Structure 1
Amino acid sequence: MTTERAGVLEGAIAPAENNKLFGHLQAEAFLAQSYKSGKGHHAVLIEGPEGIGKATLAFRFANHVLSHPEPAEAPDSLVDPDPASIITRQLASGASHNLLHLTRPLDEKTGRAKGAITVDEVRRAGKFFGQTSGTGNWRIVIIDTADDLNRNAANAILKILEEPPRRSLFLVLTHAPGKLLPTIRSRCLPLRLKPLDKEPMRQALAHLGFDLTGPNADRILSAANGSVSEALKLLNYGGLDIAAAFEEILSGQGPAVRKQMHKLADILAAKDSETIFDFFSSLLMGRVMQLARDAATAGDLERAERLARLSSGFAERLTVSDAYNLDRKQTILALLDDLKNAL
């Protein structure tokens, strides 16, 4: 099964190294103009689904601020980072003394990202702000993502947000803003990014070397739901095959379906299958929630409520399975059984 380095999908460019962003011109213009005005907020909550460019936008804006430390002298639009610039090179290599990227740390034993951003990681932000900047430049923290902060880490971040240091900027990324502490949301300026339309999706994938003109192009664009990372899972990780197998299982009956379920579970439980398992988990949860919405729209509130409870139960079981390293194959089979029974 395909693996990726430091959380970057195969075929993707790490956000800190990516010099292109597609489909978010309004968000870029807003950030550039609010910074130039000198009235920009010290913390921006960049919201939106996974894989649409939130982290790339954050690094792009950080490059802009560090390249133009005096707001009044900054241009009124963001431009592609200059690969020859020392600031661009430092950001791309993680060597900038003016930017801290907080994300889930790697577990040295497993080589996988840990389940949460801990308070120890947040303490790095305190030390970061405690150091004197040799250039007098801005200090920028990118929290990627705030969804991954555990309770203690979230409270520690909140304390810094309440009394931000001078010339500090927080770029807080979130896939699900409704799940964050209300006090964190209240101290940030929300900036909502939408899933990419088809043309920006084509441009983003072309930038990564994918020519979406083949017979599966429309199918991939439709299934990706405006997310470049979802498209990469479809293209490089067998996502199309997984989605097709899932549909066959849901619509099928009899012993043959049981065999398909075991085959799918074996693939998803294989070694180094984290990415495709996450893809399947999202696919499964998305299907249940869509069924609940369809039932509600049709006026079948009892069925809608039952499916909503099923969705909540699935999310909890997936979390518990991951936390306690339970047998993934058995978890998948149980979830598929429950979904088929509900249908």
Structure 2
Amino acid sequence: MTELYGHEGKLAAFQKLIESGLLSHAYLFYGAPGIGKFHFAKILARRMEFGAVSPKKEPFLDTFFIEPDEKGTIGVETVREIRKFLSQKPFRSSRRLAVVRDAEALTREAQSAMLKIVEEPGEAALIVFIAHDPQVLFAPLRSRLLRIYFRHFRKEELESILVGLKVSARDAKSIASKSFGRLDLALRFAKGKKIRTDDLFEEITQEILNLYFKGVKAESGKLSELLSRATAAVRFNLNANLQRKALEYIMEQ
């Protein structure tokens, strides 16, 4: 997917910052999964390297994309690579950009190492952290990042996007109503692709927890107990995989 949906205003604002040379050195893009944070970061990177009209297949020279390893973590060794990359002069952009996808995966030691980079970034360095929840980063690092919130899509926004992609109005309405405000789920539904159980499990669980946080009383004592324990699992487990496993265990009890 190369098009940008729903975040055009943010891109226009960043474009002005790029043109004026007023970009900060560290940002945190946060919000629910599947709403375009990483896609936005890639488009931003292309704008910085190639301008408004960029060749889609041209490789990045001044952007380093970081993702969790096979163990699901981002460790200190990777942070050393980031430091080395950011210390080099840019080739065609005004900045060297490091995009840390799934910042939840940064180990405690890696976060401490990233803090040192953020505190002394270098003139041409730019770092973008991407996470679902700002609280996954420890306070000293989090406090030094400019936070950019990416909200869920409204149903009518998803409907409009889907209709623009030649989905019938009837199907678009149906798909939008069951996509939890997530563009990735809406597009997968529209293409007839299978939806991962984990995606729906997390969204449905969050809907239940949202009701619980708002004070909705469960009539069943057992359900109330499960919700209480599930709330604790989500609130105190920062790792998404641990949250899922904890909730699965709770629901089996």
State TM-score, norm by structure 2.
0.80
The whole-number CA distance in structure 2 between the counterparts of 1:150 and 1:204 is: 37
2:230 is equivalent to residue 230 of structure 1: no
2:2 is equivalent to residue 48 of structure 1: no
Deviation at 1:278, TM superposition (A): 1.6
Conserved 8 A contact 2:100-2:129:
yes
The whole-number CA distance in structure 1 between the counterparts of 2:234 and 2:19 is: 46
The whole-number CA distance in structure 2 between the counterparts of 1:220 and 1:232 is: 9
Amino-acid identity (%): 24
Amino acid at match of 1:140: L
Aligned residues: 247
Amino acid at match of 1:282: E
Deviation at 1:143, TM superposition (A): 1.0
Deviation at 1:41, TM superposition (A): 0.9
Further displaced range: 220-229 or 281-290: 281-290
Matches within 5 A, 1:113-132: 114-132=71-89
The whole-number CA distance in structure 2 between the counterparts of 1:181 and 1:133 is: 30
Amino acid at match of 1:127: K
Matches within 5 A, 1:252-263: none
2:109 is equivalent to residue 152 of structure 1: yes
Matches within 5 A, 1:1-343: 13=1, 18=2, 20-67=3-50, 79=52, 81-82=53-54, 85=55, 88-90=56-58, 95-105=59-69, 107=70, 114-135=71-92, 137-205=94-162, 211-215=167-171, 217-232=172-187, 234=189, 236-239=192-195, 276-294=196-214, 296-297=215-216, 307-313=227-233, 319=242, 332=248, 335-338=250-253
Distance 1:309 1:167, change over 3 A: same
Deviations 1:111-161 (A, max 9, x none): xxx312222222221221244444574211111121221212222211111
Q: Which runs of 5+ in 1 are unaligned?
A: 1-12, 69-78, 108-113, 240-275, 324-330, 339-343
Deviation at 1:288, TM superposition (A): 3.5
Q: Which runs of 5+ in 2 are unaligned?
A: none
The whole-number CA distance in structure 2 between the counterparts of 1:34 and 1:97 is: 21
Structure number with larger C-alpha Rg: 1
Conserved 8 A contact 2:90-2:124:
no
